[in-house]
Amino acid sequence: MLTFSLDILNELGGKELHVAIWIILVMVFLVIEACTITLLTTWFAVGAAVSAVLALCGVGFGWQIGVFFVVSIALILAARPLFNKFLQRRTPTNKDDVIGTNTYVTEDIDNLAQTGYVKIKDVYWTARSADDQPIPSGTLVTIEEIQGNKLIVRKSQ
């Protein structure tokens, strides 16, 4: 059945029809990409462009379809992760400024009693001990991580 359909397409319009089909697909994929910004349909647009070139060279429609899928899938697997890494640059946040900072405990930290505060840049933060040991007020601590709105701290060495 598929062979019969491809034969009809080859006979109906020939090279010009195939080129037109691939050019239309390139445009459709690019419009979808412009609306979604996912960097997924871009690779299908490239695959369709390669197939359009093959159509211009007179290669059969079956080969054009095969090359379209091979090129598109190869680009998705190879290039998409690289582009995503490049495009999704991490924007520094306040979290990046706080982690690793040394500060003093302003209220005794006791994980069991769920108490404790530290002060950073005039802001009081709820603090918990990283090793579950109580930390008295006035102790110098290092901020190791942020969990929700709590700082996880450890006594500084």
What is the per-residue pLDDT across 2-33, written as a single tens digit (0 to 9) for each? Answer: 454 555 555 556 788 899 999 999 999 999 99
Contacts of 55 (CB under 8 A, 6+ apart): 15, 18, 19, 21, 22, 61, 64
- Residue 85's pLDDT is what? 73
Number of domains in the chain: 2
pLDDT in tens, 103-125: 999 999 999 999 999 998 888 99
**Which of 87, 107, 123 marks a domain boundary?**
87
Q: In terms of domains, do 11 and 68 share one? A: yes
Average pLDDT over residues 35-54: 90
Enter the tokens of residue 94. 């306040």
Q: In terms of domains, do 81 and 113 share one? A: no
Q: In terms of domains, do 101 and 76 share one? A: no
Domain extent, residue 10, equals 2-87
pTM for this structure?
0.50
**Which of 87, 108, 127 marks a domain boundary?**
87
The domain that holds 142 is classified in CATH as: 2.40.50.140
**Which of 38, 54, 87 marks a domain boundary?**
87
Q: In terms of domains, do 50 and 101 share one? A: no
